[in-house]
Every structure is written in structure tokens, then in C-alpha cells.
Amino acid sequence: MPGQNPQIGQKRPVIRQLDDVAINRIAAGEVVERPASAVKELIENALDAGAHRIEVSYANGGKTLIRVVDDGCGISANELPLALSRHATSKIDGSDLLNINSFGFRGEALPSLGAVGKLTITSRISGQDGAMIRVAGGKLEPVKPAALSSGTVVELRDLFYATPARLKFLRTDRAEVQAIGDVVKRLAMAEPFVSFTLRDVSGGGEGRLSFRADAETGDLFDALHGRLRQVLGADFAENALKIDAEREGIALTGYAALPTFSRGSAVMQYLYVNGRPVRDKLLIGALRGAYFDFLSRDRHPAAVLFLECDPHQVDVNVHPAKSEVRFRNPGTARGLIVSALRHALADAGHRASSTVAGATLGAFRPEQAGRIYQMERPSQGALHASYQAQAPSHETPGFAETTQPSARFEMPPNDAGTTDLPLGAARAQVHENYIIAQTADGMVIVDQHAAHERLVYEKLKAQMAQNGVASQALLIPEIIELSEPDAARLLELADDLARLGLHLEPFGAGAIAVRETPALLGNVDARGMVLDIADELADQGDSMTVQARVEAILSRVACHGSIRSGRRMQADEMNALLREMEATPHSGQCNHGRPTYVELKLADIERLFGRK
């Protein structure tokens, strides 16, 4: 039971104006959550200043030192004190809070950092002498002359020393370092023409280089592709599809990975709006919806996407950290992402990610049982002679009788397939489930059941898209009571749901009448399905419930209607399957996101046998 109100019997509380130091410390609680937040704010200031090179240094996870050095335009000596006052900024004039074309604009970061730590700013603009200013715990010192060639150096020491309680909520140095690295990499991907360096100087001196990304050259897509290779690795760059689309004044660019390059979590999803890194439920839901039909629920797509639009079409002033945005027409943004990614995935055809072959080769290689010294390795000449001596010969007595291959080998006289085609020509079927095909520079292993299941599924989806989803009328309409906001969100999607066989109508304030349900689903719990849709709409702004259930039925039909494991196939059937895979979008992965084939290059195969 709650205790007595402490205000009863006491003097009336008096309203008072907080001093600037307290105000800045409160603001710091919103803007500066951890060292990575400070790094983000300082890098964004450097980018707004037109920097081409940015160097970030930290010590002890950023708790004792954060230093950001840039070659931007700098700050004049007489403006340094103003830069440390609240709501002072060079980014906007305050007349239009929607016309924002810079990273920062609130004028809160520097005074907030100075209120909770020891902040030093040294800067020099072209044609003037350098200057320096210090602020510690909100106490400002006078401006002093300083030596600096150009740009700005911002040094933050002892973060949260003025609010020690905040230090207790910080995580380990390792976790804070990881967060700082993530911030730097996100901003590095947003600005591929800028050089970034990240150093750990915990031990003093120049420290240890933990990340470096040199400025890229070329056009935007070449530069971005090169930067993504530096930041996310060669595997992502090799398996990423170029995205370039536009709709109703919103442009979408970037790269999205093939479904077979999926991740176990959403760690490789980077979304930007007008160059600003954001974490937005609408955009994340759109990305999930674009890959909805290609990945199982426990897998996540990898993508780096940039949305560009008129600043008046999006509100970035939703949260002090500026990580959330609000679109004037959210449906347009979401639809653009879904359609652009689905077109790119369709254009990729049967292509599967190169990492599938890498994982296969890795599984082939046995673990070495100890160190092998150079002197113990035979020479290449000795290896070659040994291989030649060990090569089997058909003339060897008893060879044909003693070998009993479990595979069926087919060499059709007219060669219904050709090795010049992407998936090559079928050469064998092993274990009645895997097709072995020869390509011009290697071989392909195809899971016949998974591949044919995807082909049948794509045909069923095409038929459904052409003819629509058949619906069955309920004998008595189901009336479902909802809150008025939930009912309104559902009715906004009524036309889309009708195309999937679910027909809804308004039935008074906050009530929905379900007239028809998808026939494929049979005897369905209409109430439960509608409530699930309403929950998804409230949480994510979109719902895939009905489509998921309909396509799950199609997937099961495709599974039962496809070539089963254990069925022997003739050469012409195997080649026909390969040709259909080449002509069918998304045939590189099965209905659950797993690869339908593995391609091995001849050079890789030869390395497995020590030939290279």
C-alpha cells in the first residue's frame, strides 16, 4: 500500500527557474547517453563543417578520453564561447524547423558535453590565428590563443565526472568500445568520400589503430560499394545487389544482400534518411517485408539503404538523439523499399551467395592435427610425381569389378545441357537427391527437391497474383470489437487485405465485421487473425499475417507437388530442371532461405586435392 503523500502538511512547492548548469546536465541525459553518443555528436559536427578527414581517439572505452580531429572550416575565436551555449548553432536560423540539411541543428551537444565532462575545443579558420576554450562541469574558462594548422580538435576528458551516478550505468570498456566502433562505421558508410580513422590510445602515445577507411573515389555507387567493402567486408560487397529507385519524390539507393547471405540477427541492417543514420520501425518493417518470402523467421536480411527526400517530407526533430524520423507519407517510403528490393531480388534470378561455396569448402577441409613445418612438406615436383603414380587406371585388373559407385552417371549423346550455361550440364545424380552439373570453370551441386519446390512455389505465387486469392463467405459475419485506433488502421488496409481474401467492413465505432476469409486457410479463427493483424499494425505499422498464412499454404502445396528426395532422374530431366532454375527468379534459395545449389570453382576443387 503506498505511503502517505510527503507533500501533505508541508509548504506549497515553489516553482523556480533552474540554472544553466542544471539545464545542460538534464539535456545531457537525453543527448549523451554513453561515450558512443558523444562520438556521434562530435563526428556529425565535423561533417557539417565540411571535413574530409576525421580521426577519432578514445581511452578506456571513451570514459576517460574522447578526441575528434577534423580538417573542416573551423570556429573563429570570438564564436567559441557562443558554441558552448545552449541552442546556439550555425546549421539553421530557426525560421523553418523542417528545412534541415545538416546532421546537427539543436545546439545542445557541446554545452551538454561541457556540463558533464571536461571539454576542450581548439580550432582555427583560414586566415586567422588558432584559439582554444575549456569548460569543465559547466564552468567556462576564457578563450586563449592556441597553435593549430587548420580545422578543429575537440577533446572530452572524464565523461560524467560531474554526474558520477551516470558512470555506474555505463557498461564495460569492451562494450563501450564496440558501441563507439559501430557509430564510426555507420557514419563512415554515410560519407564514403571522407576518410575515417579510429584509435585506441588507452596505453598512451599514438595507440592502436582499430578502424580505418580511406576516402573513396569515382561515382556515388562505386564509392559506396568500396566503402561497404572496407566496413562490412568483401563477402557483403560480393553478394550485395545495387538498389536505385525513385517514387513520388523519394529516392532509394544502396545495396541489399542476397537472401542466402542472411544473418542470425539484424546486426547488418543500416538505414539512412537524408544521410542521417536512423533506427526506424517503419523502415525496418519494410526491409523485413521485402525479404518476407525468402527467409525463415529466425534469419535477417543484410542491407545498407539510403532514402533521400525533400526535408519538408520528413521530420527529424522527433527525438534529441535524432535517431528517429517521421514521414509525412509513410506508405510511400515503405512501398518504395519493398518494391525496389523485390525487383532487385527478382533480377538476381537464380543467383546464390558466394559464401555458400566458401562454407562448403570449409566443411571439406579436415582439421590439421598439429603444426606442419616447412621442412616436412614435400616439394611441388615430388607431389606431382606422387599424384601421377597414384592415379587410377581402367586397365588395372579387377578395378571395374571392385568399384561399385552409388551414383548414377549420365552422359547424354546430344548433351541436353551445355557447360557454357550458368548452371552447366547435368553429369550425375548421387544419393537420388543431388544433381552434379559441370560448368565451364567448375561444378554445381543441386538439391533437386529444394530447387523444384521453389520453382513450383513461384508458379503458384504467379497464378495467385494473376487470379487473386479466392475467398469464402462466412455464414454469419464475425463482429470484432476493437479500439477505435486499431479499427481505423485495419480499415486503411482493407483493400490490401481483400486482395488476400480477407474482407473487412466497418461495423460502428471501434468494431469490424469480417465477411469473408481466404479459402486456402479453410476453417480459420477470424477473430484471432484480425487481432494479430491489429497488434502488428500498432507495433510495426504494417502486417504480413494474412499474406504469411496464405503463402505458407502455397509453400506446403509446393513441397508436396515437387520432385521428392529419392526419385531417380534421367539426364534430360536434370538438365530441364537446371534450365528452369536459370529462368526463374529466387531459385537460388528454397522456401526457407536455404541455398538450392552450391557452386565450386575448379581452382577451389584442385586446392582441396593439393594441386595448387
The answer to whether residue 384 is domain-embedded is: no
At 119, which helix (H) or strand (E)? strand 118-124
Do 333 and 447 lie in a common domain?
no
Q: What is the CATH number of the domain that holds 195?
A: 3.30.565.10
CB 117 within 8 A of CB 66: no
pLDDT higher than threshold 50 for residue 393: no
Q: What is the CATH number of the domain that holds 305?
A: 3.30.230.10
Do 451 and 336 lie in a common domain?
no
Comparison of pLDDT for 525 and 184, the residue scoring more: 184
The answer to whether residue 539 is domain-embedded is: yes
Least confident of 18-32, 293-307, 396-410, 511-525: 396-410
Do 55 and 172 lie in a common domain?
yes
- Give the mean pLDDT of 235-259: 93
How high is the pLDDT of residue 383? Answer: 45
Select from 317, 347, 377 the last residue of a domain: 347
Do 243 and 185 lie in a common domain?
no
How high is the pLDDT of residue 392? Answer: 46
The answer to whether residue 371 is domain-embedded is: no
The answer to whether residue 1 is domain-embedded is: no
Express each pLDDT in 562-581 by its tens digit.
777 788 888 899 999 999 99
How high is the pLDDT of residue 445? Answer: 92
How high is the pLDDT of residue 106? Answer: 60
Do 285 and 416 lie in a common domain?
no
CB 51 within 8 A of CB 68: no
The answer to whether residue 280 is domain-embedded is: yes
Residue 48 sits in which domain range? 20-213
The answer to whether residue 389 is domain-embedded is: no
Q: How confident is the model at residue 128 (pLDDT cuts 50, 70, 90)?
A: very high
Q: Are strands 503-506 and 511-518 parallel, antiparallel or unpaired?
A: antiparallel
Helices (H), 396-467: 399-402, 448-467
Least confident of 220-224, 372-376, 407-411, 476-480: 372-376
Select from 195, 213, 231 the last residue of a domain: 213
Comparison of pLDDT for 5 and 160, the residue scoring more: 160
Q: How confident is the model at residue 582 (pLDDT cuts 50, 70, 90)?
A: very high
How high is the pLDDT of residue 603? Answer: 85
- Give the mean pLDDT of 6-10: 56
pLDDT higher than threshold 80 for residue 361: no
Express each pLDDT in 494-533 by its tens digit.
887 887 788 899 988 888 999 988 887 778 788 888 888 8
Express each pLDDT in 312-339 by its tens digit.
888 876 666 667 788 888 888 988 999 9
Do 439 and 412 lie in a common domain?
yes
Please provide the average confidence, as pLDDT, over all residues in the chain.
82
- The rounded distance, in Å, linking the Cα atoms of 290 and 278 is 19
Cα angle for residues 287, 543, 330 (degrees, 5° grid): 60
Do 137 and 239 lie in a common domain?
no
How high is the pLDDT of residue 377? Answer: 47
The answer to whether residue 458 is domain-embedded is: yes
How high is the pLDDT of residue 404? Answer: 42
The answer to whether residue 485 is domain-embedded is: yes
Comparison of pLDDT for 476 and 550, the residue scoring more: 476
Grid cell locating 120: 576542450
pLDDT higher than threshold 60 for residue 472: yes
- The rounded distance, in Å, linking the Cα atoms of 283 and 292 is 14
How high is the pLDDT of residue 494? Answer: 84
Comparison of pLDDT for 93 and 535, the residue scoring more: 535
- For 525, other C-beta atoms within 10 Å of its C-beta total 12
pLDDT higher than threshold 60 for residue 550: yes
Do 42 and 157 lie in a common domain?
yes
How high is the pLDDT of residue 534? Answer: 84
Q: How confident is the model at residue 396 (pLDDT cuts 50, 70, 90)?
A: very low
| Residues contacting residue 420 through CB under 8 Å, at least 6 positions apart | 440
- The rounded distance, in Å, linking the Cα atoms of 341 and 255 is 9
Do 511 and 565 lie in a common domain?
yes
Express each pLDDT in 43-60 by its tens digit.
999 998 999 999 999 999
Q: How confident is the model at residue 3 (pLDDT cuts 50, 70, 90)?
A: low
Express each pLDDT in 256-296 by its tens digit.
999 888 888 888 999 999 988 988 888 888 898 888 878 87
Do 82 and 105 lie in a common domain?
yes
- Give the mean pLDDT of 431-460: 90
Express each pLDDT in 526-538 by its tens digit.
888 888 888 877 7
| Residues contacting residue 558 through CB under 8 Å, at least 6 positions apart | 453, 454, 456, 457, 460, 591
Least confident of 25-29, 105-109, 482-486: 25-29
- The rounded distance, in Å, linking the Cα atoms of 432 and 434 is 6
pLDDT higher than threshold 50 for residue 368: no
Q: Any idea how long the chain is?
A: 612
pTM exceeds 0.85: no
Do 516 and 430 lie in a common domain?
yes
Where does 125-268 show beta strands of DSSP type E?
A: 131-136, 139-140, 144-145, 151-157, 195-200, 208-213, 240-247, 250-257
Do 239 and 335 lie in a common domain?
yes
Instruction: Give the residues across from 417 on adjacent strands.
Output: none
Give the chain's domain count.
3
- The rounded distance, in Å, linking the Cα atoms of 166 and 176 is 14
Comparison of pLDDT for 312 and 561, the residue scoring more: 312
Grid cell locating 131: 584559439
